[in-house]
Amino acid sequence: MKKKYRKLIWLFLPALIIIFVGLQWNTWFINPPEPAYSPSQAPDQILLTWSDNAANSRDVTWQGDTITKSGSLELLDDSNVADTVRYQSTSRIIKTSGGASAFFRVGMKNLTPSGSYKYRVANGIHWSEWYNFKMAAKSDSLFSFLYFGDVQDSVNGKTGEIFHKAAENLPNAAFMVFIGDIVERPHNAYWAEWFRAGGKLFKTIPVIATPGNHEFYKGLIQKLDQRWSAHFSIPQNGPPNFHESACYWDYQNTRFISLDSNGIQSIPSALEQRRWLKSVLETTNQKWIVVIMHHSLYSTTRGHDYFYLRTLFKPLFDQFNVDFVLSGHDHVYGRAAHLPNDFNKGKQGPVYVVSHTSPKFYDIGFSDKMDKMATNTAMYQLFDVGKDSIRFRAFTFDGTYFDGLTIKKDAEGNRSVIVNSPPSSAEYLKPSERFLRKSSKNEVDRYFKDLEEWEKTK
């Protein structure tokens, strides 16, 4: 009888697989057509960033129509406003199913530490307004930055509110970090929405980012939207097959390393990033190391588990004493600050943070690795980096202080974590409306049981 059942299972299994793949086909492999678009004659989607030495350079990228293929940038030093420097831009035309745009880039070199500057950009004769930015002091190891998880907002959405609230809360931010999925899908309308949401912030505060799965076109082999590297100036120090997505930036006493977690689509691509990461960490002389990657090593979404990322990268994070690993993707908040260092026994492992700013809330999975969790709210995070400490703070969409800690590091590299987090609020641990709609009573009961068990350990 058992043999008979086995034969039936093997008989129907291929059919079940075909049905399952058929139901998921559009989700996995089909890219919705991009609506037609016509880029502006005037400079649009202007972004301040950097790809060279952060102490004395900045990059600006912008978009325009394809009629004018020449772009330029004028730069004014506030200490010498009579001397205007003009740069000619590089340009490239990117064609998509919805249209074509010209993208321009200028790298401003030999800027003065502590200097204040104004710039404007042009497509041909069409000039933007003037925008201000300030350089950091040469010897100052104190700086602050903003960290945002997934955006994935609809056109005319609300994430711009959270960007501006964060900037108001940290007015001296040196730059902003985005952890991928800044667009809902690779369409010009969603790129335009992200820039609209950022407004003048993106033109005056540098932005660095790592890509997420929503910046990729779906398919058996997923490809990164060309607009990613057109908008972001990526340092060309990454592994050979990831020059548009994996890289590192040094800012003052900190190295920021971008890993392309969505680009890991095969064993060779995984090993290529791992070998590169090891070489980068081996040669890092900065006091602090911050890794940014879209998918998290310790997922906070129900049913998600990126075990292959832990296998690939956690041993290196532990061996080379990475301080923070910042992620997104899960659309819930989670922070783990007390995971053991498996390479250096008795030492503190990295602090792992997963967050998002999106209006989409996913179903929380109560990971025993996480010390603090939240759903049903978008979040933003602030970092203050000093010579011997990093202070981290997380705020909800309405500006409520939700979580915080300080890492201190002594001369030998030993870290200690001081948590300064208010008590968890039940409001941020309730099941999402989406979960309640789709789940059975038993699943809802199980949710509250998992919550109860998780809270017992905190």
Per-residue pLDDT of 230-253, as tens digits, reads 999 999 999 999 999 999 999 999
Q: What is the pLDDT of residues 196-239, one digit of tens each?
A: 999 999 999 999 999 999 999 988 788 999 999 999 999 999 99
pLDDT for residue 18? 59
Interatomic CA distance for residues 419 and 414, integer angstroms: 17
| C-alpha–C-alpha distance, residues 13 and 176, integer Å | 49
Extended beta strands in 181-336, E state: 207-209, 216-217, 223-224, 247-251, 254-259, 288-293, 324-327, 333-336
pLDDT band at 5 (very low <50, low <70, confident <90, very high): low
Q: How far apart are CA 43 and CA 76, in angstroms?
A: 18
Strands 116-123 and 131-134: antiparallel
- Give the pLDDT score at 86: 94
For residue 8, pLDDT beyond 60: no
* Percentage of residues of the chain with pLDDT beyond 90: 75
**Which pair of tokens denotes residue 326?**
């910042």
CATH number for the segment(s) 143-436: 3.60.21.10
Q: Kindly provide the residue ranges of all beta strands, DSSP E only, lying in 19-70, ordered along the sequence.
A: 44-49, 58-64
Helix (H, G, I), strand (E, B) or coil at 158: coil
pLDDT per residue as tens digits for the range 385-420: 999 999 999 999 999 999 999 999 988 888 899 999
The band of 140, judged by pLDDT with boundaries at 50, 70 and 90, is low
Whether the Cβ atoms of residue 296 and residue 330 lie closer than 8 Å to each other = yes
Q: What is the pLDDT of residue 211?
A: 97
Contact 212, 329 (CB under 8 A): yes
CB 238 within 8 A of CB 273: no
Q: What is the pLDDT of residue 4?
A: 58
Phi, psi for residue 148 in degrees, rounded to 5: -125, 135
What is residue 443's three-state secondary structure? helix
What DSSP letter does each residue of 96-121 carry, written as one string?
ETTEEEEEEEEEE-SPPTT-EEEEEE
| Segment among 66-75, 96-105, 317-326 with least mean pLDDT | 66-75
Report how far residue 184's alpha carbon sits from residue 153's, in angstroms, rounded to the nearest whole number: 6
* The pLDDT of residue 24: 54
Q: What is the pLDDT of residues 262-300, one digit of tens each?
A: 999 899 999 999 999 999 999 999 999 999 999 999 999
Distance CA 299, CA 301 (A): 6
Half-sphere exposure of 210 (CA within 13 A, CB side): 30
Residues in the chain: 458
pLDDT at 92 over 90: yes
Distances (CA, A) of 2 to 6, 12, 125: 6, 16, 80
Determine the pLDDT at residue 320. 95
The pLDDT of residue 458: 76
Dihedral sign from CA coordinates of 101, 106, 107, 108: negative
Identify the H or E element spanning 449: helix 441-456
What is the value of pTM for the model shown? 0.91
User: CA-to-CA distance for 179 and 136, rounded, in angstroms?
Assistant: 23
Q: Can you tell me the mean pLDDT for 427-444?
A: 89
Out of 126-140, 170-184, 379-393, pick the least confident: 126-140
Question: Quick check: 11 pLDDT over 80?
Answer: no
Instruction: Name the amino acid, one letter, at 373.
Output: M
Extents of the domains making up the chain = 44-134, 143-436
- Looking at residue 83, its pLDDT comes to 83
Pair 125, 70: CB distance under 8 Å: no
Dist CA 64 CA 125 (whole Å): 12
Strand bridging mode 288-293 / 324-327: parallel
Q: Which of 7-21, 368-382, 407-421, 430-444 has the highest mean pLDDT?
A: 368-382
Tokens of residue 248, six digits: 């590192």
DSSP state of 35: P
Question: For the domain 44-134, what is the CATH superfamily, name and number?
Answer: Purple acid phosphatase-like, N-terminal (2.60.40.380)
Within 13 Å and on the Cβ side, how many CA atoms surround 51?
A: 23
> Quick one: angle between helices 159-169 and 188-198, nearest 10?
30
Residue 98 has a pLDDT of: 93
Which value, to the nearest 10 degrees, does the dihedral of the CA atoms of residues 64, 65, 70, 73 take? -20
Separation of alpha carbons 195 and 148, rounded Å: 14
In DSSP notation, 214-228 reads GGEE-SSS-EE-HHH
Q: Is 437 helix (H, G, I), strand (E, B) or coil?
A: helix
Backbone angles phi, psi at 208, to 5 degrees: -125, 155
pLDDT per position as a tens digit, 150-167: 999 999 999 999 999 999
pLDDT for the residue numbered 262: 94
**What pLDDT is attached to residue 14?**
64
In whole angstroms, give the CA distance from residue 85 to residue 457: 60
pLDDT for residue 180: 94
Q: Please state, rounded to an integer, the average pLDDT across all residues of the chain.
A: 91
